C-alpha cells in the first residue's frame, strides 16, 4: 500500500503506474476515529423493535384482524391523547441549560431550505389546476419527520449511554414543523380550496383565520405551548397528583404509534401511476438524501463552539441521522382532510419508512468505524457483500421455485422477472466465489469469476427497465415487440459490456473490491449502462386489472353456451371439470401482479441511482470523503441484497402458498364447526346470520346472484366474493372492505353461504360463492 502524500491514506492498493484511489485527510480520519460516541450494538435491536411492531400492525391490517375503520380509533388515541401527553411531559422536564442552540438553528434552517425548495419547484412545475395544494402537502411531506414513534427509540439506542442530552432535541425540533412550517403548507391548501370554489366567497382574512384556528386546535401544538408555560410555572416538575396519569398516557405512545403506522400502510401502494411514481422519487430523494446532507452541513457551519472534535463530530453525525427519519403518518391525515394527493403521500410514507431503515443502520455503523485502517474498511465491505449474498441466494432459490411451480414464468411480465431473478442468483454466486478467489494468486480464476460477477450484476441493472417496458407493451396492443429479442438484450448487452471492459481495462493488482478490479474503465462503463437503462423504468399501472380476468371468464363459459342446460347444481360441486373452478384457476395463472412489479421497479430505481451516483462521484472527485464510503456500502447492500426484495414481493405467492395454507387451516376449522349445531355458534355469528337472512338476503340475492353455467348441462346460482363486498358497502352493512370481509366470513361460518367447492374462506376476490337454502 502506498501513501499519496503526508497525512493521506489510500483506500485501495495502487498499480505501479496507473491507479484508481480515493483518499481521506488525516484530520478527517482522526475525527472519525474518535466518533465512537454511538452505541452501535444497540441500534439493530432498536430497529428490530420498531420495524417488528410496524410489521405486526401491517399483518393485523392485511389479515383483517383490525379493519381500517377500527384503526382510525387507534390513530385518534395516538394523535389526540398519547402524543400530546408525551409532549407535555417532556416540555415540562426539558433542561434548556444543556441545549446547544446552534444545532437547533441548523435543523430549523435545513427544514426551511428543503420546505421552500420543494414548494417553489412544485409551484413552477405542477399543473395550475392543483399547484397550491401540491406545493403545500409536498413541502410538509419533505420536512415533517416521524420523530417520536420511530426517531426517538433509535436516538435513545444510539446516544443514551454517551450523550443522553441529545434525546431532548427530538422534542425541541418537532415544533419547528408543527408550529412554523406546516401552517404555511396549510395556507397553500386553503388557497387551493378558495380558488376551486370559483366564486371566491372567502376573503384572504378568512383564509388566514382558518389556518390559525386549525393550528391552535391541533392538540399537539396546544400541548407544546401549555408544556412550555408549565415548564416555567412548575419549575421543571410535573405535580405528584398528575404525574402517574401523564406517565400512563405518555408511555402508551411508543408501541401504539408504531402499530398504527403498520396499520396505515395496508393497501397504500395499489394506486400508483406513472405521474405519481416520478413525484415519489423526487420527494423521497428530498426527504432521505437532501435533508440529512443539509442538516449535517448546517451544523458544520454554525456550530463554532470551543469544544473538542469529538463533540462537534458527534453532533454533526446526529444531525445527519435526524435528517434520515422518514415522513410522519400525520401527513396522510392532512392529505385526507384536503382531499388532495392522497396516493402520493400514503405511498411515499410507506416507501420512505422502509428505505430509511438500511440508510440509518449503514450510516450509524460507518460513523463508528475507525477509518485509519483502510484494509479493515475494505475487508468490512467484502464481508458485508459476502454475507448478504449468501442470504439473498437462499431466498432467491425459493422465489424462483415458486415462479416455476405457479407456472407464471411462461407469461409476461413474469418471463422477464424470472430472468431478473436468475441474474440476481448469478450475482450472488459471483460475489461468493469472489470472496475466495480474491485471496488466491490464480489470475485465470479471478478473471473468470469477475466475468460472471460483472455480467450478472450489469444484467440486474438492465432487467428492471425491460420489466417496466413489458408492462407498457402489455397495455399497448398496437406495439408488438418479440420477448425473445428483449431476453437476448437483457443478457447480451451486459456480456458485451463485460467483454469491452476485459479488452480495454487494465487490471488493478492487490484490489479487494470487485467494483474496481479493472480500474477507471470499470467506473465509466457501468455508469453509462445504468444511465441508459434507468430511463426505461417508467410505469403504467392498469386501471382495470380485472378486465383480463372478466374476458377470460366469459371465454371459458362461452365454450358451452350453445349447450342447453338440463339441471341445477344444488350441492357442493364434485365435478373435476367445473367451468367456474377452471375460471378461478386460470385467473390465478393469469394474474400479472402489476402492482408488485411496479413497486419492485420503483425500489430498484434507488439502487440504480445509488450506483450511478457512486460512479459519477468517484470520477469527478478523487477525495470523495466519508459520505462516499457510506454510499459504497449502501450500493453493496442493494446490489447483492436484491434477492430479499424479490422474495418479499414474489416469494410468498398468494395462490400457491398463502391461500392453500389458509385453505388448509380453514378446512380443519370449518370441519369442526360444521359438526356443531347452530346453537353452539358464537353469539355474534348467529346474530349476523339471523339479521342477514331475515332482512337482507332476498334483496342481496336479487341484486348480485346470477345463473352461471358450471358444467355441460348444469347451471348454478352464484356470485363473486368481491360483488358481495361491494353490495355490503352500498347498503351500509359494512363501513369498509375489511368489515365487509368479516361480515361475509360470519355468514360463511353460520352456513348462509359457501364457496362452490367449499375450498376457500370468504375473500374480497373473484371467487365464486353461493347462498345455501
Quick: pLDDT tens for 512-523.
455 555 555 555
Q: Answer yes or no: is pLDDT of 15 > 60.
A: no
Instruction: Name residue, grid cell 396499520.
Output: 263
Q: Please name which of 462, 464, 471 lies closest in space to residue 490, comparing C-alpha atoms.
A: 462
**pLDDT band at residue 424, thresholds of 50, 70 and 90?**
very high
Looking at residue 374, its pLDDT comes to 67
**pLDDT band at residue 41, thresholds of 50, 70 and 90?**
low
Helices (H), 165-203: 169-175, 182-197
Q: Answer yes or no: is pLDDT of 242 > 80.
A: yes
- Residue 446's H or E segment, with its range, is helix 443-475
**Cβ-contact 724, 744 below 8 angstroms:** yes
Q: Which of 97-111, 553-567, 636-650 has the lowest mean pLDDT?
A: 553-567
Looking at residue 26, its pLDDT comes to 40
- Residue 493's H or E segment, with its range, is helix 483-504
**pLDDT band at residue 142, thresholds of 50, 70 and 90?**
very high
Q: Answer yes or no: is pLDDT of 333 > 90.
A: no
683-771 fold: Arc Repressor Mutant, subunit A (1.10.10)
Highest mean pLDDT pick, 230-234, 410-414, 594-598: 230-234
Q: Please name which of 682, 757, 670 lies closest in space to residue 716, comparing C-alpha atoms.
A: 757
Q: Answer yes or no: is pLDDT of 61 > 60.
A: yes
Q: Answer yes or no: is pLDDT of 526 > 60.
A: no
The CATH homologous superfamily to which domain 374-553+579-669 belongs is Rhodopsin 7-helix transmembrane proteins (1.20.1070.10)
CA distance 651 to 656: 10
Rounded to an integer, the average pLDDT of 684-698 is 89
40-192+202-368 fold: Na+/H+ antiporter like fold (1.20.1530)
Strands 567-568 and 714-720: parallel
Looking at residue 24, its pLDDT comes to 42
pTM for the whole structure? 0.64
**Cβ-contact 247, 511 below 8 angstroms:** no
Rounded to an integer, the average pLDDT of 555-560 is 38
**pLDDT band at residue 110, thresholds of 50, 70 and 90?**
very high
Looking at residue 673, its pLDDT comes to 47
Looking at residue 135, its pLDDT comes to 92
Rounded to an integer, the average pLDDT of 659-686 is 64
Rounded to an integer, the average pLDDT of 1-27 is 36
Looking at residue 623, its pLDDT comes to 65
Distance of CA 618 to the CA centre of its chain: 29
Q: Which pLDDT tens digit goes with each residue over 594-613?
A: 777 877 887 787 778 777 77
What percentage of the chain exceeds 90 in pLDDT? 10
Q: Please name which of 593, 602, 486 lies closest in space to residue 548, comparing C-alpha atoms.
A: 593
- Other CB atoms within a 10 A radius of the CB of residue 21 amount to 21
List the grid coordinates of 114: 428543503
DSSP letter string over 203-238?
-HHHHHHHHHHHHHH-HHHHHHHHHHHHHHHTTS--
**pLDDT band at residue 217, thresholds of 50, 70 and 90?**
confident
Question: What are the boundaries of each domain within the chain?
Answer: 40-192+202-368, 374-553+579-669, 683-771
Strands 768-771 and 753-755: antiparallel
List the grid coordinates of 400: 424462483
Of 306 and 704, the one with more pLDDT: 704
**pLDDT band at residue 269, thresholds of 50, 70 and 90?**
low
Q: Answer yes or no: is pLDDT of 383 > 50.
A: yes
The mean pLDDT of the chain is 76
CA distance 200 to 198: 5
**Cβ-contact 147, 328 below 8 angstroms:** yes
Looking at residue 23, its pLDDT comes to 45
What percentage of the chain exceeds 70 in pLDDT? 73
Q: Which pLDDT tens digit goes with each residue over 627-671?
A: 677 777 878 888 898 888 888 888 877 666 766 666 666 566 655
Q: Answer yes or no: is pLDDT of 277 > 70.
A: yes
CA distance 720 to 718: 7
Q: Answer yes or no: is pLDDT of 234 > 50.
A: yes
Report helix, strand or coil for 114. Answer: helix
The answer to whether the 374-553+579-669 and 683-771 domains have the same CATH topology is no
Rounded to an integer, the average pLDDT of 102-113 is 91
Looking at residue 627, its pLDDT comes to 66
Instruction: Name residue, grid cell 388557497.
Output: 191
Instruction: Name residue, grid cell 368489515.
Output: 739
Of 196 and 670, the one with more pLDDT: 196
Residue 656, C-beta contacts closer than 8 angstroms, at least 6 positions apart: 402, 405, 406
Rounded to an integer, the average pLDDT of 606-624 is 73
Amino acid at each position: 500500500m502506498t501513501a499519496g502524500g503526508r497525512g493521506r491514506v489510500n483506500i485501495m492498493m495502487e498499480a505501479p503506474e496507473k491507479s484508481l484511489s480515493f483518499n481521506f485527510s488525516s484530520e478527517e480520519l482522526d475525527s472519525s476515529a474518535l466518533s465512537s460516541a454511538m452505541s452501535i450494538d444497540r441500534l439493530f435491536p432498536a430497529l428490530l423493535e420498531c420495524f417488528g411492531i410496524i410489521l405486526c400492525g401491517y399483518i393485523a391490517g392485511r389479515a383483517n384482524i383490525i379493519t381500517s375503520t377500527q384503526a382510525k380509533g387507534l390513530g385518534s388515541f395516538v394523535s389526540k391523547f398519547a402524543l400530546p401527553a408525551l409532549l407535555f411531559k417532556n416540555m415540562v422536564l426539558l433542561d434548556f441549560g444543556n441545549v446547544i442552540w446552534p444545532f437547533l438553528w441548523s435543523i430549523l434552517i435545513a427544514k426551511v431550505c428543503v420546505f421552500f425548495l420543494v414548494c417553489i419547484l412544485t409551484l413552477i412545475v405542477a399543473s395550475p389546476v392543483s399547484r397550491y395544494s401540491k406545493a403545500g402537502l409536498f413541502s410538509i411531506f419533505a420536512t415533517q419527520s416521524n420523530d417520536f414513534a420511530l426517531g426517538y427509540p433509535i436516538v435513545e439506542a444510539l446516544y443514551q449511554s454517551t450523550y443522553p442530552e441529545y434525546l431532548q432535541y427530538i422534542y425541541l425540533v418537532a415544533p419547528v414543523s408543527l408550529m412554523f412550517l406546516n401552517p404555511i403548507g396549510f395556507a397553500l391548501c386553503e388557497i387551493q380550496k378558495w380558488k376551486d370554489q370559483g366564486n371566491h366567497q372567502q376573503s384572504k382574512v378568512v383564509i388566514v383565520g382558518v389556518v390559525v384556528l386549525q393550528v391552535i386546535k391541533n392538540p399537539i401544538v396546544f400541548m407544546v405551548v401549555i408544556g412550555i408555560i408549565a415548564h416555567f410555572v412548575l419549575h421543571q416538575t410535573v405535580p405528584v397528583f398528575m404525574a402517574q396519569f401523564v406517565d400512563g398516557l405518555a408511555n402508551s405512545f411508543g408501541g401504539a404509534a408504531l402499530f398504527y403506522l403498520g396499520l396505515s400502510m395496508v393497501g397504500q401502494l395499489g394506486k400508483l401511476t406513472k405521474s405519481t411514481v416520478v413525484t415519489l422519487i423526487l420527494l423521497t430523494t428530498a426527504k432521505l438524501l437532501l435533508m440529512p446532507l443539509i442538516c449535517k452541513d448546517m451544523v458544520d457551519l454554525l456550530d463554532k463552539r470551543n469544544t473538542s472534535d469529538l463533540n462537534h463530530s458527534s453532533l454533526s453525525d446526529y444531525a445527519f441521522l435526524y435528517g434520515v427519519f422518514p415522513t410522519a403518518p400525520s401527513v396522510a391525515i392532512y392529505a385526507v382532510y384536503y382531499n388532495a394527493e392522497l396516493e402520493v403521500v400514503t405511498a411515499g410514507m410507506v416507501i420512505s419508512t422502509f428505505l430509511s431503515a438500511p440508510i440509518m443502520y449503514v450510516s450509524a455503523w460507518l460513523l463508528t468505524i475507525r477509518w485509519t485502517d483502510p484494509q479493515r474498511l475494505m475487508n468490512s465491505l467484502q464481508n458485508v457483500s459476502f454475507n448478504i449474498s449468501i442470504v439473498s441466494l437462499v431466498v432467491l432459490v425459493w422465489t424462483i421455485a415458486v415462479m416455476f411451480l405457479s407456472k407464471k414464468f411462461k407469461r409476461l411480465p413474469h418471463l422477464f422477472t424470472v430472468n431478473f431473478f436468475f441474474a440476481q442468483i448469478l450475482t450472488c454466486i459471483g460475489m461468493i466465489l469472489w470472496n475466495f478467489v480474491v485471496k488466491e494468486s490464480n489470475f485465470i480464476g479471478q478473471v473468470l469469476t469477475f466475468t460472471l460477477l460483472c455480467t450478472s450484476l450489469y444484467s440486474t441493472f438492465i432487467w428492471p427497465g425491460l420489466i417496466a417496458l413489458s408492462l407498457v407493451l402489455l397495455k399497448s396492443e398496437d406495439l408488438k415487440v418479440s420477448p425473445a429479442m428483449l431476453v437476448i438484450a437483457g443478457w447480451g448487452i451486459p456480456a458485451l459490456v463485460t467483454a469491452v471492459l476485459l479488452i480495454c481495462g487494465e487490471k488493478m493488482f492487490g484490489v479487494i473490491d470487485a467494483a474496481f478490479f479493472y480500474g477507471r474503465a470499470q467506473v465509466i462503463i457501468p455508469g453509462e449502462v445504468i444511465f441508459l437503462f434507468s430511463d426505461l423504468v417508467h410505469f403504467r399501472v392498469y386501471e382495470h386489472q380485472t378486465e383480463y380476468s372478466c374476458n377470460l371468464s366469459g371465454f371459458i363459459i362461452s365454450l358451452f353456451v350453445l349447450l342447453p342446460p338440463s339441471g341445477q347444481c344444488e350441492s357442493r360441486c364434485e365435478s373435476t371439470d367445473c367451468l367456474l373452478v377452471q375460471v378461478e384457476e386460470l385467473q390465478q395463472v393469469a394474474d400479472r401482479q402489476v402492482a408488485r412489479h411496479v413497486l419492485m421497479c420503483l425500489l430498484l430505481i434507488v439502487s440504480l441511482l445509488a450506483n450511478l451516483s457512486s460512479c459519477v462521484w468517484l470520477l469527478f472527485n478523487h477525495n470523495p470523503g466519508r459520505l462516499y464510503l457510506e454510499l459504497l456500502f449502501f450500493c453493496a447492500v442493494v446490489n447483492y441484497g436484491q434477492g430479499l426484495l424479490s422474495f418479499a414481493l414474489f416469494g410468498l405467492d398468494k395462490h400457491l402458498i398463502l391461500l392453500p395454507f389458509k385453505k388448509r387451516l380453514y378446512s380443519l376449522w370449518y370441519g369442526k364447526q360444521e359438526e356443531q349445531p347452530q346453537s353452539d355458534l358464537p353469539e355474534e355469528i348467529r346474530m349476523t346470520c339471523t339479521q342477514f337472512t331475515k332482512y337482507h338476503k332476498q334483496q342481496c340475492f336479487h341484486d348480485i346472484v346470477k345463473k352461471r353455467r358450471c358444467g355441460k348441462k348444469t347451471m348454478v346460482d352464484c356470485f363473486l366474493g368481491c360483488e358481495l363486498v361491494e353490495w355490503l358497502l352500498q347498503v351500509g352493512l359494512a363501513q369498509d372492505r375489511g368489515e365487509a370481509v368479516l361480515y361475509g366470513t360470519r355468514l360463511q361460518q353460520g352456513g348462509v353461504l359457501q364457496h362452490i367447492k367449499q375450498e376457500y374462506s370468504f375473500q374480497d376476490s373473484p371467487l365464486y360463492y353461493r347462498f345455501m337454502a
